[in-house]
């Protein structure tokens, strides 16, 4: 019995004597595996954080990452007041019918500025209407007023390109523009004197500032909202877009090109289409150009 106990004891001693050796061996193995445990906590951390964020931000964050920053410019119609060559009033009446039939949603550049994702989430359903050459100094052309009436009756808003010119704006024009602005229309700058900014820039960048800044000031002073959109006279763009973004502009509206834009840019150039032989044909051409 004593012998067995001694045997067990010595066996135990042998094992315990071995254990330090056995312990030494796993250490490097443990050391080698240390980077794994440290990375695991960070993984579990993010996994636990995510569910706490998701409930409050369900709608926006789940959409945002999937949206392409490159967007199609909504098809944009460029209109002017009726003249002897072209009755834009009659054209607009027909065009509104087509927009209604196609269930297009008419928006402004400012609408997109306020809600930038609509050009992705509602791509192909948006449409923009612009009317240029509205002078702050003179009474609004009666037929242009009629054009705005037609759009309002349809429940549409539009973008008005205003030339500011004078220090003495015409009160009725101001009143009408203010009323339209308050009902969601966008008042855009069409410069102070309808100057070709591309030409001005070639002479001096300062001339571009001198032509645009006063118009922004005058619109803000009379209408109450500082424009974020510039409608380029004769569609002529400047080379240095920074000149325009420095003035707080966001949209620069020309004629050629600009059928897509990068929503990450701080200033966006977009193009437009003028009326063709009739409303239906123009709509067809715009469908091809803007791809909607």
Least separation, in Å, of the C-beta of 186 and Zn ion? 16
Residues 211-240 that bind Zn ion (CB under 5 A): 233
Which of residues 119 and 189 has its CB atom nearest to Zn ion in the complex? 189
Minimal distance, residue 160 CB to Zn ion, in Å: 11
Residue 256 CB, shortest distance to Zn ion, in Å, is: 15
Smallest distance, Zn ion to C-beta of residue 272, A: 11
Nearer to Zn ion, 104 or 244 (CB): 244
Interface size with Zn ion, residues (CB under 5 A): 3
CB 231 to Zn ion: min, Å: 7
Q: How far is the CB of 140 from Zn ion (least distance, A)?
A: 15
For residues 277 and 80, give the distance between their C-alpha atoms in angstroms, rounded to a whole number.
Answer: 15
Q: How far is the CB of 74 from Zn ion (least distance, A)?
A: 21
Residues in 108-167 at the binding interface with Zn ion, rule: CB under 5 A: 132-133
DSSP result, the chain: -HHHHHHHHHHHHHHHHHHHHHHHTHHHHHHHHTHHHHHHHHHHHHHHHHHHHHHHHTHHHHHGGGS-SEEEPPPEEEE----SS--HHHHHHHHHHHHHHTT-EEE-HHHHHHSTTHHHHTTTTEEEEEEEEEETTSPPPHHHHHHHHHHHHTT---EEEEE---SS--HHHHHHHHHHHHTT-EEEE--SS---HHHHHHH-HHHHHHHHHHHHHHHHHHHSS---EEEPGGG---S-HHHHHTTT--EEE-SSS-SEEETTSSSEEE--B---SSHHHHHHHHHHHHT-
Min dist. Cβ of residue 167 to Zn ion (A): 21
Q: Which is nearer to Zn ion, 74 or 233 (CB)?
A: 233
- Residues 215, 208: Cα–Cα separation, whole Å: 11
- Determine the length of the chain: 292
What x/- string results for residues 75 through 114 when contact with Zn ion is judged by CB under 5 A?
A: ----------------------------------------
Picking from 107, 53, 77, 109, the residue whose alpha carbon sits closest to that of residue 269 is 109
Query: How many Å separate Cα 26 from the centre of its chain?
Result: 60
CB nearer to Zn ion: pick between 79 and 126: 79
Closer Cβ to Zn ion, 197 or 223, answer by number? 197
Nearer to Zn ion among residue 227 and residue 233 (C-beta)? 233
Q: Which is nearer to Zn ion, 132 or 186 (CB)?
A: 132
Stretch 13-32: interaction string toward Zn ion, x if CB under 5 A: --------------------
Nearer to Zn ion, 126 or 237 (CB): 237
Residues contributing to the site for Zn ion (CB under 5 A): 132-133, 233
């Amino acid at each position: 019995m004593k012998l067995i106990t001694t045997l067990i004891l010595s066996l135990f001693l042998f094992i315990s004597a071995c254990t330090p050796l056995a312990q030494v061996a796993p250490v490097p193995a443990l050391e080698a595996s240390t980077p794994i445990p440290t990375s695991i906590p960070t993984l579990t951390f993010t996994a636990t954080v995510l569910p706490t964020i998701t409930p409050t931000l369900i709608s926006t964050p789940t959409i945002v990452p999937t949206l392409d920053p490159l967007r199609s410019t909504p098809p944009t119609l460029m209109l002017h007041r009726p003249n002897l060559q072209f009755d834009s009033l009659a054209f607009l009446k027909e065009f509104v019918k087509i927009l209604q039939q196609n269930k297009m949603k008419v928006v402004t550049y400012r609408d997109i500025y306020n809600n930038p994702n609509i050009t992705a989430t509602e791509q192909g359903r948006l449409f923009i209407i612009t009317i240029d050459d509205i002078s702050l100094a003179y009474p609004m052309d009666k037929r242009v007023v009629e054009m705005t009436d037609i759009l309002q009756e349809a429940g549409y808003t539009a973008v008005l390109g205003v030339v500011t010119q004078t220090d003495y704006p015409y009160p009725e024009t101001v009143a009408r523009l203010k009323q339209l602005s308050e009902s969601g229309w966008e008042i855009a700058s069409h410069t102070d004197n309808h100057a070709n900014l591309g030409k001005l820039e070639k002479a001096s960048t300062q001339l571009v500032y001198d032509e645009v800044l006063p118009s922004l000031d005058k619109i803000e002073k009379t209408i109450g909202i500082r424009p974020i959109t510039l409608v380029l006279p004769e569609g002529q763009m400047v080379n240095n877009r920074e000149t325009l973004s420095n003035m707080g502009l966001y949209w620069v509206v020309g004629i050629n090109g600009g059928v897509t834009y990068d929503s990450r840019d701080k200033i966006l150039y977009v193009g437009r289409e003028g009326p063709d032989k009739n409303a239906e044909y123009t709509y067809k051409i715009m469908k091809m150009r803007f791809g909607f």
